[in-house]
A and B are shown apart, each in its own frame.
Chain A
Amino acid sequence: MMLGPSAMSGAALGAGLSLPAPLRGVVLARDCLEAEAGWLLVHLLKAELTQSGNGAAALPAGTLSPAHRRLVLLAAAQAASHYAAVLRKAGLNLPSLVAAGRLNLVELLPAAAGPGALPSLRDVHALLAAACSGDGGAGSSSSICLVVDDLTALHCLASNAADWSAFLHACTAVGQAPGCAFVGLAHGDVPDDERWLARLEAAAALVLEAEPLDCGPSADATGCLAVSVRDVGRGGDGSAPAGGAAEACAPGMRSYCYRLAETGASFVEQTV
C-alpha cells in the first residue's frame, strides 16, 4: 500500500503538531483529571476524516488512500450527539459520513436502557467486529482506524481480567494489522488500571500524554502534550514513511504546549 505525499504531511493534524500521518499501529492517548484529552481524540478524528486531501487523485490506481480507510468509533463515554456537535464545528457532517460508510459509530450508551442492560465485553467485541467488517460493498477496504472513547469506561464492563486482556488484545491486533490503526483514550490517574495501561503502552507505537501545566492553565496555554514515538510504523507493504513525516516518525519524545479554542487546538513545540 502506497500513500501519497500529501497524506504524509502532518499539517492536517494541527498547526505546530508533528505526528506520523496517517496514524499507524497502536496509538495511546492518556490524560488525567487535571488535563483531559477528549479534545485530542476529536482532533485525531478530524485529521483522519479530512485527510483525503488533494493527493488522492494522484495516487496510482489500485492503491488505497487514507480517505478509503474506514473509521470505526466506539463511543463508550460520550453520546453520538456530542461527536456530531464537535465534528460540525470542523465542517464535518456526522450523519452524512455515516451514510457514506466513511464512519461507523458504535454507541454503547443507548444500549444501556435500564439496570443490568450494560453489554458485556463479548457483546462489544461482536459489535466492533461487525462494524469493522462493514458491508463489503464497493469502495470498502480492509484498512480500519479503530478509535475507542474511552478504554477506562470500557474496563468497567469487564467481568474479569482475562476478558479485559482478550478485548484489549483484539483492539491491539487491529492496530498492528497492515494499514490499520487503533487509537485508544485512557485515563492515566486510575491506580487500578496501571497494569493494563503499562502493557498497552508497551505495545503502542505512539503515546500522546496530556499533562497540566505547573502553573495551571493560562490565556496562552491550556496544557502540555507529550508525544512519544516508540516504534517505527510501517505500511502494509513494509514501506517506511518518507518525506516530511520522516522526522515525526523517528522514535523519540517531543513536548508541546497546546491551547484549546472553540474551533480546535493550536500547538507550540517546547524545545528543551
Chain B
Amino acid sequence: MELSLRILREGRAEPGAPAPLLVLRHSLAAAGGAVLLRHALSELAAAVASGRAQAAALLVVALERPAAAYPQQVTTLPTPSLAVLDGFTDAHGWGSLLGPCGSGSSGTDSSGSAAPASTVVRLPGLLAAAGGMQQLQTAVAAALAGLAQPVAVIFDSLSPLVDAAGAPAVAQLLHSLAAHPAASCLLAGLHADLHAAHEVGALEALAAGTLAATPAGDLERRVCAAAAGGAAPQGRLTARLRRRSGRVRCEVRLYRVTASGAVTFMEPPAEPAAGAPAAAAAADTAAAAAAAAAAGPLASQMAGGMKLGLSAEEEEARRRVQLPFEHQGQRDAYQAGDWRDYLPPEAGGRGLPGHGASVAAAAAGGRLQQQQQHQQAAAGPATTAAPAAAAAGGTAARQHQQAASLGRILYRQEQEQEQQQLQQQPQQQQQPQSQPQPQPQSQPQPQPQPQPKQDLLGVLLEAAGTPAGAAGGLTSELAASFCAVFDTLRPDQQAAKEMRLRLFVRRGLPGHAAREMRNALQRAGLA
C-alpha cells in the first residue's frame, strides 16, 4: 500500500506526462474494500496537508457514498483544499426519500465548522441524464479550476458510471482527466464483480497501478493469527504497479480492518524454502525407517506405516531393474510406427536382438530352464537349487515369454493375412520376374532363400522404376545394396523383412520400403 500511495504522492513525472491512475478493485468476496479506499484517501489527504505530495488539493467525486462523509475524513486538510462533487444524493433525478433536509441543501454549499471548509457541488440526475458524462466532465473541470493546483482526483467508485454510460465513456473520461494539466494523480474504486472482464480490463489498462482486494486464504489467516496473537487478516491486497522505468512490481499484503475503521497491514507468511519440504520428508522417512527397523523386519519393510516413498535400498533395487523393452537406440524404428520393428524377436518383433536387458533376461531364463531340464532328467526330480534359481531369474524370462508369445500371435496373424493376399494376386508377383521363374517352380519349398530374394528384388526394382518410387527415395542401387545385406539375415528375419517390403510396395508406399532398407543397411554398418 505504501508503494501505491507513493505513486499518488509523486504525481506526474514531468509536466507533459499523464497523471498516474490507481484503480482499487473490490470484490464481493472480500470485505472492507470501501474501507481501503477511505484509508487511501486519508493517507493522501495527510500527505497533501503536510506538503509531501505533488498535489495541493483534493477533488472527490462521490458516486457511491454520500458527499457529506468525505470532508469528515480529510480533517487534516487546510482550507480551501477540498471539493466534493455529489453525484450520489439524487443520482437519478427522483429526489431524495429524506426530503431536502436529509439530502442537504441544493446547489453549492460549504460544510459546517466541524470539518474543514469544503465545496460540495451537487450533480442531480447525473446517472440518468443522457449527457451525464459530459455534465460530469464539465463539473470536474470547473472544480479543478477553482482549487489550488495541482489536484488529486478521487472517484469513490467508477461502477455507477460504467453501469450508466459504459466502460468506453468512463475510459475516455479518465483519459481526459489524466491529460488535464491541473490533475496530479487519479484514484478510483471499481467493483470488478459487477462488470464484464473486458470492461474491467479496459479501465485497468489505463492505470499505472492496480490494487486488488481478495479474501485471505484460510492458511494465511491461521498463520497470521498465530503470529499476531489472534488478529486474523480479513483480506489480501495485491498491488501491481508500473514504475516510471516501465518495470512492473507486484506487492502482496494482508490487511485487517477493525471495528473502528482502522486498517492494519501485515506481511504474508513467508514461503517455505525449495528444499525444505523434501528435506523434511526425507528426515521423516529416515526417522520412520529407523524406528521401524528397531521394531522388526516386517516393520522395517513397511517403514513405519503407510509409506508412500521408497527407501534407499528400494530405490537402488528399482534403478537396477532393466525393463525388458526399454529404449536402447531404436528411435528410428519406433517412430516408423511399427512396433514389430522395435521389439526384439523374443517379444515377437523384428528388431535386432541387441537389447541387453531382453537378451540377458531371456538368456538367463533360458539357461536356467535348460539347467532345470538337465537336472530333472539326470538327477531326478528333487532339485531345490534349480527352482530357486529359476524363481530368481525366471520371472523376467516368463514376462518376456508372455510378451513374446503375444507378439508372435499377432505376427503370425498378420503373416497369414499377407499370405492370403499373396495367394489372391499371384500373377502380379510373377509377371515382371522372367528369369527367376523356373527356380521357384523347380524348388518351391525346400530352398525358399533364392526364390524370395529374386522375387523381392524384382518387386523392388519395379517399384524403383516408378515415379512414386523415385520420389520416395527407392532406387535400384538401394535395392541392390539391401539384397547384399538380406543374405546375412536369419531366415525368420528374411521372411519378415520381405513381407514388409512387399506390403509397402503393394500399398503404394515405396518411401517406407526405402526407409526400411536404409535402416537395415545402417544396422549392418553399410549406410
List residues of A whose CB falls within 8 A of some B CB: 122, 125, 128-129, 132-133, 142, 144, 146, 162, 165-167, 169-171, 173-174, 176-178, 180, 198-199, 201-203, 228-232, 234, 237-238, 240-241, 245-253
Contact = CB atoms under 8 A, between A and B. Distances in A.
Contact of A202 (B28, B65, B73, B97): B28
Contacts of B127: 165, 169
B26 A173 contact: no
A250 B260 CA distance: 8
B259 A129 contact: no
B259 A142 contact: no
Given A173-B89, A173-B90, A232-B257, 10 more contacts: A144-B97, A165-B163, A169-B92, A170-B92, A174-B96, A176-B66, A180-B102, A199-B159, A232-B259, A240-B260
Given A169-B92, A230-B32, A202 B194 contact: yes
A174 B97 contact: yes
A135 B2 CA distance: 51
A173 B128 contact: no
Contact of A198 (B64, B194, B257): B194
Contacts of B121: none
B95 interface: yes
B261 interface: yes
Contact of A173 (B88, B93, B114, B193): B88
Interface in B10-51: 26, 28, 31-35
A142 B68 CA distance: 15
A225 to B, nearest CB: 17
A247 B90 CA distance: 34
A133 B102 CA distance: 9
Interface in B141-199: 159, 163, 191, 193-194
B272 to A, nearest CB: 25
Contacts of A177: 66, 98, 102
Nearest to A122: B94
Dominant secondary structure at the A interface: helix
B30 to A, nearest CB: 9
Given A162-B128, A202-B26, A228-B31, A132 B260 contact: no
Given A132-B98, A202-B159, A176 B92 contact: no
A251 B159 CA distance: 22
Contacts of A129: 95-97, 99
A231 B97 contact: no
Interface string B63-96: 0111011001100000000000000111111111
B98 A174 contact: yes
Nearest to A249: B259
10 contacts: A129-B96, A133-B98, A142-B101, A144-B97, A166-B91, A176-B66, A177-B102, A232-B260, A240-B261, A246-B259
B234 interface: yes
Most chain A CB within a 10 A radius of its CB, from B65, B102, B163, B194: B102
A160 to B, nearest CB: 12
A125 B259 contact: no
Contact of B97 (A122, A170, A228, A234): A170
A230 B98 contact: no
A187 B97 CA distance: 24
B97 A251 contact: no
Contact of B94 (A167, A202, A246): A167
Given A171-B97, A173-B97, A203-B64, A231 B32 contact: yes
Contact of B99 (A122, A133, A253): A133
Given A166-B92, A176-B66, A231-B35, A241 B259 contact: yes
Nearest to A171: B97
Interface string B109-128: 00000100000000000011
Contacts of A173: 66, 88-90, 96-98, 103
Interface residues of B, number: 43
Contact of A253 (B31, B91, B96, B194): B31
Contacts of A198: 28, 193-194
B322 interface: no
A247 B259 contact: yes
B258 interface: yes
A189 B65 CA distance: 28
Given A176-B65, A251-B257, A144 B98 contact: yes
B66 A146 contact: no
A252 B32 CA distance: 8
B260 A170 contact: no
B28 A246 contact: no
A132 B97 CA distance: 7
Contacts of A146: 97
Nearest to B160: A169
Most chain A CB within a 10 A radius of its CB, from B68, B89, B103, B261: B261
A247 B231 CA distance: 12
A262 B114 CA distance: 49
Interface string B439-483: 000000000000000000000000000000000000000000000
Contact of A250 (B64, B93, B98, B258): B258
Contacts of A201: 28
B257 A250 contact: yes
Contacts of B97: 125, 128-129, 132, 144, 146, 170-171, 173-174
Nearest to A204: B28
A230 B94 contact: no
Contacts of A231: 31-32, 34-35
A10 B260 CA distance: 17
A240 B102 contact: no
Contacts of B26: 202
B31 A238 contact: no
Contact of B96 (A167, A170, A178, A237): A170
Interface in B294-312: none
Nearest to B92: A166
Nearest to A229: B31
Contacts of B128: 162, 166
Contacts of B258: 232, 246, 250
B194 A199 contact: yes
A165 B95 contact: no
Nearest to B255: A251
A17 to B, nearest CB: 17
Given A142-B102, A198-B194, A251-B31, A169 B259 contact: no
A176 B191 CA distance: 18
The 6 lowest CB-CB distance pairs between A and B, nearest first, are A166-B92, A251-B31, A246-B259, A249-B259, A240-B260, A232-B261
A165 B259 contact: no
Contacts of A248: 259
A26 B90 CA distance: 17
Nearest to A132: B97
Most chain B CB within a 10 A radius of its CB, from A170, A173, A198: A173
